[in-house]
Structure 1
Amino acid sequence: MESQYKLLSQIDSPDDVKKLSLQQLVELSAELRQFIIDVVSENPGHFASSLGVVELTVALHYVYNTPYDRIVWDVGHQAYGHKILTGRRDVFHTNRKYKGISGFPKRAESPYDAFGVGHSSTSISAALGMSVASKLKLENRNIVAVIGDGALTGGMAFEALNHGGSINPNMLVILNDNNISIDPSVGALKEYLLDITTSKTYNKLKDEVWDILGRIDRLAPKTRSVIQKIENAVKSALLKQSNLFESMGFRYFGPVDGHDVVYLAKILKDLKDIPGPKLLHIVTVKGKGYSPAENNQTVFHAPGLFDKETGERIKDSSGKPTPPKYQDVFGETLVELAEKNPKIVGITPAMATGCSLNIMINKMPDRAFDVGIAEQHAVTFSAGLAAEGLIPFCNIYSTFMQRAYDQVIHDVALQNLPVIFCLDRGGLVGDDGATHHGAYDLAYMRSVPNMTVSAPMNEEELRNLMYTAQLELKGPISIRYPRGIGVMVDWRKPFQKVEIGKGRVLRTGSDIAILTIGHVGNLASVAADRLEADGVGVFHADMRFVKPLDEELLTRVGKEFKTVITVEDGCLPGGFGSAVLEWFNDNGYSVKVVRLGIPDVFVEHGTQKELYAECGFDIDNIYKTAKKYASSKAKLRVG
């Protein structure tokens, strides 16, 4: 460590960073960048985002007195350097691993993590709250929010700017502008920022007047006010438009080179002395310093294992055919359906590659829309499309759909509009952890009137549900599926209509009934094989729908079994098992319902297999539970 990272090996906290000279910050930045490359190439995680803010991270901890001063990172993909400099260097290799450190800032993990994040566009609101709290408590904390241009497309960021500019908080917003979130940034804001960063006249004049205007706060209040008005007028004239941030009450500084650590440190030190709301616009390159990441920023957002020397991603070398990812089945199937049905359109909030809507965007750019990080808008935009007779497939990660719940109820379900919600990453997602698990959609969607709630057990079922939805539905439906690969190599089957509210009986044993929803039905099938080898007859039904439930199937189960096991990759309170339990109770069946699923806790990170086991619905736990409750007439093998 000491031979390869001469400075970084000596950094155990930001206090050690402050001991360095300005020129040593350049060397520290180089070592920090190389350390991230070395570790993440062997321990997969988010990558290019942290490389892009190495210099900013070093400058922030050099200038500010953290953790007393607060640094709030937006989303947190870019906070690896921050973690390494704040005492987690030696455990950084456990990042995103089971029982290791989190891949995102987390208050419970370190006092340097001022605010827990994972979702986008929250930093300015949180920092504003901290700034107001500091003022009310008569403290003198510096509050900094770091937000990317992609995250700035989220409406919540503008709500915070609007509020902040009106109450004059002492805070700094750093806009990290690299023209990309995961996929390239979209929308009018992107073009506005591009105008600022490419205006040569504006930038030349900005450099010349920086020293004068940067010191206006030492002048008398009336003089300061006059110069600020002159400054705003000059900026507006050169850009041929008013400065968005100035109009919202934030003094704008920039744009500046986000990879010049010495200059950044000087600017941040100057800005500490200027009171009120300020915004520093820095321009960076996502993946900076590692050419494969710079040249392929979307792939290297989270590349998995890769060869750090060549940049080549390391994939399974077994040579065996593998099932596709569910997201790719969605993307390919949507294009197939859209080619046959001109009314179909696709919508996603800034996850085009993540959900594979990019396939349709590339083939049918006029019918597929990336609306930016704006889940609420995505849902109501879809509602508007549906109101005019189109068939919107709105693809949102389950965890992000939580941000648009009011729009689902008020703008879609209340008007019974046929919006097809395809909820990617339903259930436990693995190493992204608690902020990203899609634990709640089965529960929160089944409580909404007019909503049909479904989950396919495999790729063929996903295709058929999508096919049926665009043919049959008169109201909204959610179709949820998990992160990762499915179970079928030969998945591109001819489309078949699915009867809404009807499940599939997969086994007809008489000792124990197992009812499943979604992909975890495959785990139950393997457990059932083991049970039947032990002489336990298993009745297994893939219910397909949480709402409406297959009442005919449940009536059969209620009459034939005393104990029913339900399995779901979703929260137990209010979920699929609760729906089954409620139905048996409401219809007079004395059936013991044993529910397996995600308990009433926030589950941390780990592989999906590890988390299924922790939550008690992996193959072994399904097998043990069914064996425990099987009828006494079953021929159980001793031991």
Structure 2
Amino acid sequence: MTTANTACPELFPLLDEVCGPKALRDLPPGMLTALAAEIRAFLLAKVTAVGGHLGPNLGTVELTLALHRVFDSPHDTLLFDTGHQAYVHKILTGRAAGFGSLRQAGGLSGYPSRAESVHDVIENSHASTALGYADGLAKARQLAGEGDRAVVAVVGDGALTGGMAWEALNNLGAAPDRPVIVVLNDNARSYAPTVGALAHHLRRLRVEVRGSGGGCPGAPAPGRGAIGPLPAARTLFELLGFAYLGPVDGHHIPALEETLCIARDLRMPAVVHVVTVKGKGYAPAEGDLAECMHAVGVIDPQTGRPAQAAAVPTWTQVFAGELCALGERHEDVVAITAAMPGPTGLARFQRRFPDRCFDVGIAEQHAVTSAAGLAMGGLHPVVAVYATFLNRAIDQVLMDVALHRLPVTFVLDRAGITGPDGPSHHGMWDLTFLGAVPGLRVAAPRDAAQLRELLAEAVADTSGPTALRFPKASVGADLPALRRHGVVDILHRTGDRDVLLVGIGPLAGAACTAAADLAAHGIGVTVVDPRWVLPVPAELTDLAAGHRLVATVEDNTRCGGIGAAVTRALADAGATVPVQVLALPGHFLPHGSRAGILAAAGLTTDGITQRVLGAVNSPPALAEAPVTPAKRPV
């Protein structure tokens, strides 16, 4: 047997032998417990050293072992919803040696990746989607006459709160001739504890069913880790047309294998309810730090604490503090989170104002429309989500909020490049989408002082919806303005009015440094921060028209965004000044460090300087470009 999985046979001898699913199936059952222990030790060693999703994967070790022993991947299709719990799947499909570069540029992805392995089928890491993929794949298998190829979707109880999951269940349960197996990994958490009526139903199943033993012919006997279902179709899943098997102890491999075999042989849609412990086997991840252990940076494996304390606050932390301050001053301010109070900074507000903070589960569409209802009731909702997840609710932003001109504020964390989480988590489309929404004002603070100021302006705005965006990063030093022209801050001015540099959000700092470099080349530069970036302020258009060249700098895709909006605004004003758009390329970007990805896109001081120099030195020459007089004195 080839031993080439971990590259550390002396530390993980058993795991090193399991270089693929077949090797795992050939392993004697009596060795599985030892293998599970090695996998947990491997995960702790690797993930704490480089960062990644720790808790979800520690909780799915035995479940993933059972799945790969019962089903024959890739002939059978295993789909992992969200994907952050697929590390064990990667290990068992021959990729353990790559964990030293997990989520680093050119290294192993932190999510399933079709480019990495034939065992990875989907790589969209947005939650609640796997059941929809499963429905389509099962239909394709049926039409192709491939009824021997099982389709298995692993979905967490947190992800099952999403509307897409129920749209898929509605179709799956109504098709008894398409036997999709839904493995419900129930650990009672997403980031935070799972909320809502479904969580109550699953809790009832865990409590009332456990120990009953009966209800399913051939179900494993009580006391061996698996328990039979409630009689007389008393589960929601049975009422929807599924066979229900469980709850099953998700850390008892024999029970898992036996129950999965039953589900496979039923040849009808089935839900296997598996109860697991998130962070299993690692005390910090099972205890008070459970939410923090969902995804970690480099941490001390002994304590679970960060290896090095952050020297400066993050954007999220600044937002968290300011929202609480606004909550103290404005009783109409309420907050909404889609299952992520901690990561979006709302946990502090939730503790201070528990009756004014609403966790709706992983349901961004519902979060936005619920916010619309709150605004109709006279409140000012603040919806805090990752920028990439607001993509899922653009229709609701457009039709449910903006059409009604409702005062809802969207706070978009992780805007721009997020780094190691890769293409599905980069928040690089929000300015493009939101720029098309009538009546929506978007702000991009450049520093902590502006975040506080702009958030206060947003929640005071009763005319319609507003949005703020900021990155996943530490906040740099405040960047004071020379003066304010309307809503636009003028940050830097040297020499003639050759170039207007428009720095969006935190990239304003790099624009100012580039301006100093350009001055050494004899180029006069004005650097401005629009603050409210969409719609394009009239003051910005006036300033732009008074320069020979405009360069916009943003961490949004070049397709749409601020550069496109400024170009359009200048054309509408009849100005002929050329515009250079410095932004992210219009394709999916891989995982890597935030700094490295921004550098590759030219969104650094050097990149800005070289791009402007290139534009200045290319025909038509800068000196030949006409200057349109500004409409207002600046």
TM-score by length of 2: 0.91
User: 1:303-314 counterparts in 2 under 5 A?
Assistant: 303-314=296-307
Instruction: Provide the rounded CA distance (Å) in 1 between the counterparts of 2:107 and 2:337.
Output: 32
The one-character-per-residue Cα deviations of 1:558-610 (angstroms, maximum 9, x if unpaired) are: 13x22211100101111100011111222222212111111111111111100
Report what 2:415 is aligned to.
Answer: 426
Instruction: Provide the rounded CA distance (Å) in 1 between the counterparts of 2:400 and 2:583.
Output: 31
Name the SS of the counterpart of 2:266 in structure 1: coil
User: 1:126-165 counterparts in 2 under 5 A?
Assistant: 126-139=133-146, 140-165=148-173
Residues 313, 87 of structure 1: alpha-carbon distance in 2 compared, 3 angstrom cutoff:
same
- Of residues 527-536 and 506-515 in structure 1, the stretch that sits farther from structure 2 once superposed is 527-536
Instruction: Provide the rounded CA distance (Å) in 2 between the counterparts of 1:633 and 1:127.
Output: 57
The one-character-per-residue Cα deviations of 1:6-25 (angstroms, maximum 9, x if unpaired) are: 21111221111011011112
Give the letter aligned to residue 122 of structure 1.
Answer: T
Instruction: Provide the rounded CA distance (Å) in 2 between the counterparts of 1:433 and 1:629.
Output: 31
Residues 233, 177 of structure 1: alpha-carbon distance in 2 compared, 3 angstrom cutoff:
closer
Name the SS of the counterpart of 1:3 in structure 2: coil
Name the SS of the counterpart of 1:597 in structure 2: strand
CA contact under 8 A between 1:25 and 1:262: conserved in structure 2? no
User: 1:17-32 counterparts in 2 under 5 A?
Assistant: 17-32=24-39
Instruction: Provide the rounded CA distance (Å) in 2 between the counterparts of 1:233 and 1:8.
Output: 38
Please state if 1:192 is matched with 2:201: yes
Larger helix share, 1 or 2: 1
Report what 1:360 is aligned to.
Answer: 349
How many aligned residue pairs are there? 599
Report what 2:21 is aligned to.
Answer: 14
Instruction: Provide the rounded CA distance (Å) in 2 between the counterparts of 1:549 and 1:3.
Output: 61
Report what 2:626 is aligned to.
Answer: none
Q: How much does 1:308 deviate?
A: 2.0
Name the SS of the counterpart of 1:603 in structure 2: coil
Report what 1:336 is aligned to.
Answer: 325
Please state if 1:570 is matched with 2:563: no
Name the SS of the counterpart of 2:343 in structure 1: helix
Name the SS of the counterpart of 1:366 in structure 2: helix
Instruction: Provide the rounded CA distance (Å) in 1 between the counterparts of 2:302 and 2:336.
Output: 38
Report what 1:255 is aligned to.
Answer: 247
CA contact under 8 A between 1:75 and 1:122: conserved in structure 2? yes
User: 1:296-335 counterparts in 2 under 5 A?
Assistant: 296-316=289-309, 322-335=311-324
Please state if 1:551 is matched with 2:551: no
Q: How much does 1:522 deviate?
A: 1.6
Give the letter aligned to residue 455 of structure 1.
Answer: A
- Alignment RMSD: 2.1
Residues 489, 289 of structure 1: alpha-carbon distance in 2 compared, 3 angstrom cutoff:
farther
Q: How much does 1:89 deviate?
A: 1.2
Q: How much does 1:424 deviate?
A: 1.1
Q: How much does 1:512 deviate?
A: 2.1
CA contact under 8 A between 2:447 and 2:478: conserved in structure 1? no
Report what 1:517 is aligned to.
Answer: 504
The one-character-per-residue Cα deviations of 1:254-282 (angstroms, maximum 9, x if unpaired) are: 00100011221222223221111000001
CA contact under 8 A between 2:448 and 2:478: conserved in structure 1? no
Report what 1:171 is aligned to.
Answer: 180
Name the SS of the counterpart of 1:474 in structure 2: coil
Give the letter aligned to residue 506 of structure 1.
Answer: L
The one-character-per-residue Cα deviations of 1:334-354 (angstroms, maximum 9, x if unpaired) are: 110111111110111111000
Q: How much does 1:310 deviate?
A: 3.7
The one-character-per-residue Cα deviations of 1:481-527 (angstroms, maximum 9, x if unpaired) are: 11121113899xxxxxx99x721111122232211221111221222
Report what 1:597 is aligned to.
Answer: 583
The one-character-per-residue Cα deviations of 1:147-189 (angstroms, maximum 9, x if unpaired) are: 1111111111111111111122211101111111111111121
User: Which of 403, 426, 429 does residue 437 from structure 1 map onto?
Assistant: 426
Name the SS of the counterpart of 1:328 in structure 2: helix
Instruction: Provide the rounded CA distance (Å) in 1 between the counterparts of 2:113 and 2:32.
Output: 26
Instruction: Provide the rounded CA distance (Å) in 2 between the counterparts of 1:553 and 1:36.
Output: 51
Instruction: Provide the rounded CA distance (Å) in 2 between the counterparts of 1:6 and 1:446.
Output: 55
Instruction: Provide the rounded CA distance (Å) in 1 between the counterparts of 2:318 and 2:269.
Output: 47
Name the SS of the counterpart of 1:167 in structure 2: coil
The one-character-per-residue Cα deviations of 1:36-56 (angstroms, maximum 9, x if unpaired) are: 111111111111100000001
CA contact under 8 A between 1:513 and 1:538: conserved in structure 2? yes
Q: Between the two proteins, what is the percent identity of the paired residues?
A: 40
Instruction: Provide the rounded CA distance (Å) in 2 between the counterparts of 1:102 and 1:262.
Output: 31
Name the SS of the counterpart of 1:529 in structure 2: helix
Instruction: Provide the rounded CA distance (Å) in 1 between the counterparts of 2:168 and 2:622.
Output: 64
User: Which of 441, 459, 464 does residue 470 from structure 1 map onto?
Assistant: 459
Q: How much does 1:77 deviate?
A: 1.0
The one-character-per-residue Cα deviations of 1:178-201 (angstroms, maximum 9, x if unpaired) are: 1111111111211111111112xx
Name the SS of the counterpart of 1:60 in structure 2: helix
Give the letter aligned to residue 301 of structure 2.
Answer: K
Please state if 1:529 is matched with 2:516: yes
Q: How much does 1:212 deviate?
A: 4.5
Report what 1:539 is aligned to.
Answer: 526
The one-character-per-residue Cα deviations of 1:240-260 (angstroms, maximum 9, x if unpaired) are: xx3111011111010010001
Instruction: Provide the rounded CA distance (Å) in 2 between the counterparts of 1:489 and 1:34.
Output: 43
Instruction: Provide the rounded CA distance (Å) in 1 between the counterparts of 2:300 and 2:452.
Output: 36
Please state if 1:582 is matched with 2:571: no
Report what 2:82 is aligned to.
Answer: 75
Instruction: Provide the rounded CA distance (Å) in 1 between the counterparts of 2:263 and 2:357.
Output: 43
Q: How much does 1:209 deviate?
A: 4.9
Q: How much does 1:210 deviate?
A: 4.2
Report what 1:484 is aligned to.
Answer: 473
Please state if 1:182 is matched with 2:191: yes
Please state if 1:415 is matched with 2:422: no
Report what 2:273 is aligned to.
Answer: 281
Give the letter aligned to residue 263 of structure 1.
Answer: A
Which 5+ residue runs of structure 2 have no aligned equivalent? 1-7, 222-227, 624-634
Give the letter aligned to residue 265 of structure 1.
Answer: E
Instruction: Provide the rounded CA distance (Å) in 2 between the counterparts of 1:387 and 1:251.
Output: 42
Please state if 1:404 is matched with 2:393: yes
Q: How much does 1:213 deviate?
A: 6.5
- Of residues 465-474 and 395-404 in structure 1, the stretch that sits farther from structure 2 once superposed is 465-474
Which 5+ residue runs of structure 1 have no aligned equivalent? 216-230, 237-241, 492-497, 635-639
CA contact under 8 A between 1:335 and 1:359: conserved in structure 2? yes
Higher relative contact order (CA 8 A, sep 6+): 1
